[in-house]
Amino acid sequence: MRDSDVATEVHCPVSCHNEWDPLEEVIVGIVDNAHFPPWHVAVGAPLSAAQREVFQQRAGQPFPADQVAAARDELDQFVDILEREGVTVRRPEPRDHSASYGGPGWQSTGLYDAMPRDLLLVVGNDVIEAPMAWRSRHHSASAYRPLLKEYFRQGARWTSPPKPELSDELYHADWTDQPDGEPFRSVITEFEPTFDAADFVRCGRDIFGQRSHVTNGMGIEWLRRHLGDEYRVHEVVLNDDHPMHIDASLMPLAPGKLLIQPERVPQVPDLFKDWEVRAAPAPVIPDGHPLYMTSKWINMNVLMIDEQRMVVEAQDEPMMRLAESWGIAPIPCPFRNFNSFGGSFHCATVDVRRRGELRSYL
């Protein structure tokens, strides 16, 4: 590559400090070619007993074609809404998730490219690839690499932590559900740093993360050291038997406004003592609706376009009423079929650029 091929522009295309500044550019995932991953103890740990049974029975198979098509249609509607609201939308290219790959001592096939929030963490002008603990997601960032190269050439930072080996030493092979009242025990060990980007939410100079079945203490510490003294990375402990991703438990929506899942957040972190905290309304997703990798509390997984606009699932009237009571205009979008795949609007996106400055809100 010639020096002239890499620019360092004053106006970097990547700049994001929180979850609510005016959204200018976003990446939206795709659900094409989604597959159930090979069965592994780490896959089962965050799931309910019924979900584990489905994943074991369908390991390595494609997700139902009709559900993929329905979710794809909802993603397209979501993109149309964002573009009408003035947001630039970027998408990855479809990949073959049935292809086999591996490392020393293990083999896997893929999952999907539906949830970029899981694997890319944008802090300022730095795009950080998550070192993910699921073997089926070892190459998840590949679908987004063309975009990352483009952003890098235009001046963004691009960071990839140590690529995890994902050897057997990373996992507790004997992991089982814990009895009620027992301290949380993750399915992953401290063998090497791992985290999913969706286990963190950003409030300017303060970033909140949790240990989960995909994020360990080494992963949180790696991020803390990487970001340095300019940021404060706080580890929060939630009341969740199957933790995986913080954005369906604790979501800052705007300065002074925090949305929580009341059962998982019995005590709000002291740093939010001056914020207005509201419990998310009970989900309205029907009992019979398939949710392969999440609970009904995925209703919390909203996307803020700015402090006054929130994208909400079109049938979630209680969440729309909560938004309105908080002075936030809800923008309804059908997304229930996409919810089946394990996420909602926040999961399906990575905010590349939000118009605002780095500051403290706490």
- Give catalytic residue positions: 196, 245, 347
| Rounded Cα gap, residues 14 and 276, in angstroms | 30
Three-state DSSP state, 44: helix
Contact criterion met (CB below 8 Å) for 36 and 63 = yes
CA angle, residues 161, 14, 34, in degrees to nearest 5:
65
Eight-state DSSP code of residue 32: T
Q: Please say whether the dihedral angle defined by the alpha carbons of residues 242, 31, 74 and 355, taken in this order, is positive or negative.
A: positive
Strand partners, 206: 203, 232
Compute how many other C-beta atoms are within 10 angstroms of the C-beta atom of residue 59: 16
| Rounded Cα gap, residues 218 and 186, in angstroms | 13
| Rounded Cα gap, residues 328 and 107, in angstroms | 47
Closest CA to 226 of 140, 129, 297, 299: 129
The owner of tokens 């949830």 is 115
Contact criterion met (CB below 8 Å) for 35 and 61 = yes
CB-based burial, 228-237: b 16+ in 10 Å, e otherwise: eeebbbbebe
